[in-house]
Amino acid sequence: MTSNNSNGLDRTQTNKEDGLAQLSRSADNTRRIKNVQDKFVNSQNLQKEGRALVGEGILMKVCRKKPKQRAFFLFNDILVYGRVVISGRRYSQQKIIPLSEIQISAPIDSPENPFAWLISSPKKSFVVRANSDRERQEWLTHLERCIRYASEGNNSHHNAVAAHWIPDDKADTCMHCHTSKFSAVNRKHHCRNCGIIVCDGCSKKRFLLLHLDPKPVRVCDSCFTKLNSNTIIDSRANQRDRTADSSDSDGDENAQQYSPIPATFYQNVENL
Ligand SMILES: [Zn+2]
Ligand SMILES: [Zn+2]
């Protein structure tokens, strides 16, 4: 009854999450995963025993400069996303985040980003938005269920996560000293610990945040003081082999070309 092997295949039929294991064994699932892999430029091998593709869809990812269209693929153990080269056919810049490291927020609604929520992970945290409230609810329901499934029996789910970087256009002056005005020469920086936009003068110090980088990273003066006085040693700092996710915010894309494509989920949560 209590046997839970690491990939979750030894569950009893009464387990409500068993639908995910069943899905992973279906021929349709194998075909769908191969399909996703084939559509990615330089895809990692996505085929894995026990893995199920639960759903996919296009979400707007709120980046540092502006929102960008990204294709998201929710599996029962990972979240994969990438840049859309040709809608429905070709994707690039594949990013993979283990679900056991992901935290999701409650719905966030603002006039500029309706139907949004926050996805947090150790390396990177970002806001995404769906096309409708209903679609967001579907994503959140499936995400929560898959995160629970992926996190069962491992304790890594309380890792530190990256701060969400406040988009560049949200501040003209430093959010720390409130006096330094940004310009072509006085550039904007982000505190890696709290995500606010600060001037260079207010973020001269570096602090070791091992979930982000093996080297000390830029933090604002307030965070430096706070972090420095905090002597708790984070024992989780040793499993750090993930690559930094910096390329994603680069490049010029026109968000105006965004054409909503409804998300597809391969399981109906209500019927489970
Ligand atoms: Zn400042
Ligand atoms: Zn800070």
Ligand nearest to the CA of 221: 2
pLDDT of residue 220: 96
| Residue 139 structure tokens | 């994503």
Q: What are the residue ranges in the chain where pLDDT is below 70? A: 1-17, 153-159, 230-261, 269-272
User: In 3D, which of 125, 138, 131, 137 has the Cα closest to residue 113?
Assistant: 131
User: How close is the Cα of 33 to the center of ligand 2, in Å?
Assistant: 40
User: How close is the Cα of 230 to the center of ligand 2, in Å?
Assistant: 14
pLDDT of residue 15: 54
| Residue 194 structure tokens | 């709290």
Radius of gyration of the chain (CA): 20
User: How close is the Cα of 143 to the center of ligand 1, in Å?
Assistant: 38
pTM over 0.85: no
pLDDT of residue 270: 63
Map out the domains of the chain with their CATH numbers. Answer: 18-161 (2.30.29.30), 168-229 (3.30.40.10)
pLDDT of residue 99: 95
Ligand nearest to the CA of 188: 1
User: How close is the Cα of 61 to the center of ligand 1, in Å?
Assistant: 28
Ligand nearest to the CA of 163: 2
User: How close is the Cα of 129 to the center of ligand 1, in Å?
Assistant: 31
User: How close is the Cα of 125 to the center of ligand 2, in Å?
Assistant: 15
Specify the residue for token string 């947090």: 120
Ligand nearest to the CA of 220: 2
Backbone angles phi, psi at 169, to 5 degrees: -80, 5
User: How close is the Cα of 194 to the center of ligand 1, in Å?
Assistant: 14
pLDDT of residue 57: 95
